[in-house]
Amino acid sequence: MKRRKYIIGNWKMNHGLEEIRTFFIDFSKVKMELNCVVAIAPQFIHIPILKELAFTTGNMQIGAQNAAEVDSGAFTGEVSAKSLKDMGVDFVILGHSERRAIYKEGHEILNRKVKNALKNELPVIFCIGETLSERESGKTFEVVKEQIEHGLSGISNSDMQNIVIAYEPVWAIGTGKNASKEEAEEVHQYIRTILPHRKEETSILYGGSVKPDNIDGLLSMPNIDGALVGGASLKATDFKSLCVSASRF
């Protein structure tokens, strides 16, 4: 399978109905063919409305920001991968640093979530990345290796077709301080060597303060296949500009 360029917006817990409508009006203003995978992961409750609005923009994919590790049961407040799939959701983001840090999601639960999503044929964007202190103490490779080895433990060769990796250095998320294209490329290149299967075919996205003015440099690197974008995905003009850039590569 050929690697593709991706621009995925992670809206986190942002945007209400009015902002969503404005976003899609602005995003659709200038019609153009986008030659990359364009996707947004909104809050769960907004998924149906985004599915509807996305339809008007062509083929934007809509994803979820989390999914439970089992299909059903006494898990108050959780949403299952099975239900997401039933609702036509295209993918789920798992392992985001905010889930790891705030909700204490560790390797074992993330591995169960990845396996459950794949069992339900829900593709996974699996996020990994080191903190500032880990980078400063020279542990970046060690940290991402551990996250890949545990998070993707037991994943089969064919499952790997439904996994995209997002390397997101925690120190770059929402800080305005992105990794340079060389810093990011060095880690992406390393990640490719430690993937359990399909090393060359798997898409590896960069995330962390991606903006219209730094996307081109990042995408020019051989192992950077796109971006997972927080802040700059909230404004339609910025998000569209990222998609236009990715379409050129």
Write down the least CB distance from residue 128 to ligand PEP, Å.
12
Which CB sits closer to ligand PEP, 187 or 232?
232
Q: What residues are annotated to the active site?
A: 96, 168
> Judged by CB, which is closer to ligand PEP: 82, or 98?
98
Residue nearest to ligand PEP (CB): 230
Nearer CB in complex with ligand PEP: 114/210: 210
Residues that bind ligand PEP (CB under 6 A): 10, 168, 173-174, 207-210, 228-232
Query: What's the min distance (Å) between Cβ of 217 and ligand PEP?
Result: 15
Q: Least Å distance between CB 150 and ligand PEP? A: 20
Q: Which residues of 150-172 are buried (b: 16+ CB within 10 A; e: fewer)?
A: ebbeebeeebbeebbbbbbbbbb
- Cβ of residue 41: shortest distance to ligand PEP, in angstroms? 9
Bridge partners for 61 per DSSP: 39
Q: Quote the radius of gyration of the chain (alpha carbons, Å).
A: 17
Are the C-beta atoms of residues 210 and 229 closer than 8 Å to each other? Answer: yes
Nearer to ligand PEP, 152 or 170 (CB): 170
Contacts with 14 (C-beta within 8 Å, 6 or more apart), sequence order: 43, 234
Which residue pairs from 79-82 have beta carbons closer than 8 angstroms and sit at least 24 positions apart in sequence?
A: 79/44, 80/116, 80/120, 81/113, 81/116, 81/117, 81/119, 81/120, 81/122, 82/120
Rounded Cα gap, residues 168 and 126, in angstroms:
10
Q: Which amino acid appears at position 108 of this protein?
A: E
CA angle, 153 as apex, 151 and 158 as ends, to 5°?
A: 105
Paired tokens of 146 = 């551990």
Comparison of 89 and 229: residue with beta carbon closer to ligand PEP: 229
Min separation Cβ 74 and ligand PEP, Å: 30
